[in-house]
Amino acid sequence: MFFKKPTSKTPKILLHSSQNPIFSLINHKAKNPLYTCTQTKNYVDVYMKWKKDQYLDTIEHIHKSIQLKPVISLKNVIAQNPNGCIPISDVSKKGLHFDVKIKVARFLRQYPSIFEEFTGPQYNLPWFRLTQEAVEIDREERRLYEDCKEDLRERLKKFILMSKQKVLPLKVIQGMLWYLGLPEDFLECLDMNLDGSFRVVEMEEGLKGLAVESNERVLSVLQRNAMKKGVYSNEPMEAIEFPLFPSKGVRLRRKIEVWLREFQKVPYVSPYEDYSHLDPNSDIAEKRVVGFLHELLCLFVEHSAERRRLLCLKKYFGLPQKVHKAFERHPYMFYLSLRNKTCTAILKEAYCDKMAIERHPMLRIRNKYINLMKESQVILKSRRVNNPYVERPKLDLDLDCADEQECVEIGRL
């Protein structure tokens, strides 16, 4: 696949048209898959401006996810404490760990419907505990992890099976736990959370990895939906057309429409199948990459992800160097949202055809936390309106000084 670097800072979509695409099967040995093929084509570079989609830009559980992740991480720290509360000194120096860009105490005070602040028993330090509403949702969340353990385990298994060697480093899996809907401590108790099809292995560079042993053939979401519609019989070299959902006001030029029609006729290679014999510069290889991204986002809770977070997957999933361009080349399948000062890739099918993709069980719980976050905004606004001149009790909020003072007092004792 060839890409040109856009000359403008505005996100643009680079597409090419193919004149007289010719597919020919190569004489292959038995070890080569049937979809090994070549394609002759002439490239035409076409640029189209990015178009804003108001609906996809206003989906709360997608765009609140960045704020919700550190909230749940801090919630877990408090919930796992035997006393159900912590002094601010326990987390004040861990802002980077929780991806909190402001002081942790200030961050906690932004959500009074989740975190309740009180004065500690010693040294006049602020302490935090969960509100009753947050405690109830936390209990529901833990019950859901137990009830849906098999579903969550299956999503992790599919994620690993899409990799080149059916094995992924633990650090890569740890970075994807949030998107897969798994708890943060999932990898700390592998014996309890995994079944016999998983095994821990040693990888290159001294990394530990998680491998999956399975002889069962896994069908992608696209394959299952196509079989339900009766347009796919699971035969070699069979094409599956991607579901397309154009945004309002987005129109493709005629040359791009011609290319897209031909692209839909290209054989579909499942992300769970071997792709080592594909020509990386062919349309069939590009369709395999697009199919992989489609299946990956189907596994995620919000069916979306920050685009930069997916870059670490290139090495282990056989993706091209400029895989991020695939989102821009296929605007009828993916939408790139620029909210929250980041680029979020969204799978359109999940929100334009809600019956096509199974709803992730963790989404309901996250929506409940988001409702508490919205309630916090109402509480803070009410405080400002009703008490515009009342100052909060002055606690020792200089956490560095507070820690030093605490050490001095303990030394005196």
Q: Using one digit for the tens of pLDDT, what is the confidence trace for 21-30? A: 333 333 333 3
Nearest to 163 by CA among 218, 91, 107, 110: 218
DSSP-derived secondary structure letter, 278: S
Rounded to two decimals, the pTM is: 0.83
Q: What is the mean pLDDT of residues 209-233?
A: 92
Whether 33 shows a pLDDT value over 60: the answer reads no
Whether 377 shows a pLDDT value over 80: the answer reads yes
Task: Report yes or no: 249 and 51 within 8 Å, Cβ to Cβ.
Answer: yes
Measured CA to CA, the distance from residue 364 to residue 347 in angstroms comes to 19
**Percent of residues in the chain assigned helix, strand, coil, to nearest 5:** 45, 15, 45
Q: Which residue has the higher pLDDT, 406 or 280?
A: 280
Cβ burial of 85 (10 Å; 0-12, 13-18, 19+) is middle
Q: Compute CA 30 distance to the chain's CA centroid, rounded to the nearest angstrom.
A: 38
Buried b (16+ CB within 10 A) or exposed e, 258-290: ebbebbeebbbbbbbeebeebeeebbbbbbbbb
- Residue-wise pLDDT for 45-88, tens only, equals 545 667 889 999 999 999 999 999 999 999 999 999 999 999 99
Q: Which long-range contacts (CB under 8 A, 24 or more apart) does 394-400 make?
A: 395/119, 395/124, 395/125, 395/126, 396/123, 396/124, 396/125, 397/105, 397/126, 399/88, 399/89, 399/92, 399/93, 399/103, 399/105
Task: Report yes or no: 256 and 276 within 8 Å, Cβ to Cβ.
Answer: no
Instruction: List C-alpha distances in Å: 192 to 143, 166, 185, 187, 189.
Output: 15, 21, 11, 10, 6
Task: Report yes or no: 160 and 211 within 8 Å, Cβ to Cβ.
Answer: yes
Nearest to 210 by CA among 238, 176, 250, 233: 176
DSSP string, 120-177: -SSTT-EEEEE-HHHHHHHHHHHHHHHHTHHHHHHHHHHHHHTSSSSEEEHHHHHHHH
Q: Which residue has the higher pLDDT, 13 or 167?
A: 167
- Residue-wise pLDDT for 360-373, tens only, equals 999 999 999 999 99
Measured CA to CA, the distance from residue 328 to residue 11 in angstroms comes to 8
Q: Which long-range contacts (CB under 8 A, 24 or more apart) does 8-12 make?
A: 10/49, 10/50, 11/50, 11/328, 11/336, 11/338, 11/343, 12/47, 12/48, 12/49, 12/50, 12/328
Number of neighbours of residue 392 by Cβ within 10 angstroms: 10
Whether 398 shows a pLDDT value over 50: the answer reads no
Task: Report yes or no: 110 and 380 within 8 Å, Cβ to Cβ.
Answer: yes
Give residue 39's pLDDT band: very low, low, confident or very high (50, 70, 90).
Answer: very low
